[in-house]
Amino acid sequence: MLITVLAAAGLGGCTGSDSTPGPDDGASGDSGTAVSAEPGRYRTLPEACGAVSRKNLQALLPGAEQDDKVYEGQAAVTYDIDRRDGCRWKVETPSGTRYLTIDFQRVVSYDPSVSDDDRAQETYEEKATAAHIPDATSSPSTPSASSSRSESGGASDGSSSSASPGSSSDEPGKGDKSGKGGKTDSGDKGTGTPSSGADASGGSDESDTASADTAPRRLDDLGDDAFLNDQLITKDSGIHRDITVVFRSSNVIATIEYDQWTTDKKHIPSSQELQGKAQDLADELTGRLNE
């Protein structure tokens, strides 16, 4: 009887050890220690056409007071306003045409090992590299850059093309349907390098001769990262100065494009004026994001 009882106990112990793995099993332990990267600060975006105050629009678009609808702006086409939103304004006056575009992009990382902020920084640095901003860093690897573009591509294709001020057009009034790449194209056809203040005839505006003030550069005290680009482009149809300000705040990237066109090549659009107004707008938009 004693032998029978011991044998039964031994069989019971063996059966217990072959049962379902306990909490110390290796696979279970690995999954328990996996930690997802933190989500970004922002879950929504401000409504782009309502993000700019009336006072600021009046300063950015002088001469629009006679047509109040100009201040309403034209909303960009987007498929998810919590991921991408933009707006465009245009005013034509005897002294020239001004275009203003703002674009908000909320970056979301679908890789649990990469935070939304890190993915947004990759996207921002791609923009800085494309604009030849000093000290811009390339994306760490091609796959990451690819995934960064693809994760935001659904809405970006629609909104970015509609948010363009149309600066690639040869004539100021005919550029509204062009895409974001317009500036690069127009730069290839004209003098699309950072402005040195020279016009097509070789004359210059003394206020724009300081290349340090017009060269692509990073900006301090604006979001987490920011840069400004200033281009003076001359064409047969006229001359235009294009100011671009891009800043990142956590997982949101905001882009401002502010352009002034004129057919009078003797009067170069003021770099100081346009840059100052674009930076004032950038300051306002950072506040909108934090409301």
Instruction: For 125-173, write each residue's pLDDT tens digit.
Output: 999 999 999 886 654 443 444 344 334 444 444 334 333 434 344 444 4
Using the predicted structure, report yes or no on whether residue 255 has a pLDDT greater than 50.
yes
- Report helix angle 142-151 to 153-162, nearest 10: 70
d(CA 5, CA 196): 99
Using the predicted structure, report yes or no on whether residue 82 has a pLDDT greater than 80.
yes
Question: Under a CB-based contact definition with an 8 Å cutoff, are residues 160 and 177 in contact?
Answer: no
Residues 6 or more apart whose Cβ sits within 8 Å of residue 67 = 91
Percentage helix, strand, coil, to 5, in the chain? 40, 20, 40
Mean pLDDT in residue range 55-76: 90
Measured between alpha carbons, how far is residue 48 from residues 32, 45, 74, 196, 221 in Å? 41, 8, 10, 33, 22
Mean pLDDT in residue range 72-94: 93
Please name which of 56, 40, 50 lies closest in space to residue 73, comparing C-alpha atoms: 50
Q: What is the pLDDT of residue 94?
A: 82
Question: Under a CB-based contact definition with an 8 Å cutoff, are residues 42 and 106 in contact?
Answer: yes
Please name which of 177, 201, 181 lies closest in space to residue 191, comparing C-alpha atoms: 201
Specify the range with the lowest mean pLDDT, choosing from 95-99, 106-110, 212-216.
Answer: 212-216
Mean pLDDT in residue range 242-261: 97
Q: What is the pLDDT of residue 290?
A: 84
The length of the chain, given as a count of residues: 291
**Helix intervals (H) in the chain:** 2-17, 26-33, 54-60, 116-130, 142-151, 153-162, 182-189, 211-214, 271-289
Mean pLDDT in residue range 176-181: 38
Using the predicted structure, report yes or no on whether residue 185 has a pLDDT greater than 60.
no
Q: What is the pLDDT of residue 136?
A: 65
Question: Under a CB-based contact definition with an 8 Å cutoff, are residues 30 and 254 in contact?
Answer: no
- Report helix angle 116-130 to 142-151, nearest 10: 100
Using the predicted structure, report yes or no on whether residue 58 has a pLDDT greater than 60.
yes
Please name which of 45, 23, 60 lies closest in space to residue 257, comparing C-alpha atoms: 60
pLDDT for 8-55, tens place per residue?
445 444 444 444 444 444 444 444 556 678 888 999 999 999 999 999
Measured between alpha carbons, how far is residue 44 from residues 80, 132, 161, 234, 288 in Å? 10, 30, 21, 39, 12
d(CA 208, CA 210): 6
Using the predicted structure, report yes or no on whether residue 182 has a pLDDT greater than 90.
no
* Beta strand pairing call for 84-93 and 225-235: unpaired
Residues 6 or more apart whose Cβ sits within 8 Å of residue 77 = 158, 159, 161, 162
Looking at every residue in the chain, the average pLDDT score rounds to 74
Q: What is the pLDDT of residue 183?
A: 40
More confident call, 31 vs 221: 221
The two three-digit tokens of residue 267, written as one number: 């009067």
Residue 232, SS3 per DSSP: strand
What is the share, in percent, of the chain residues with pLDDT greater than 90?
Answer: 48
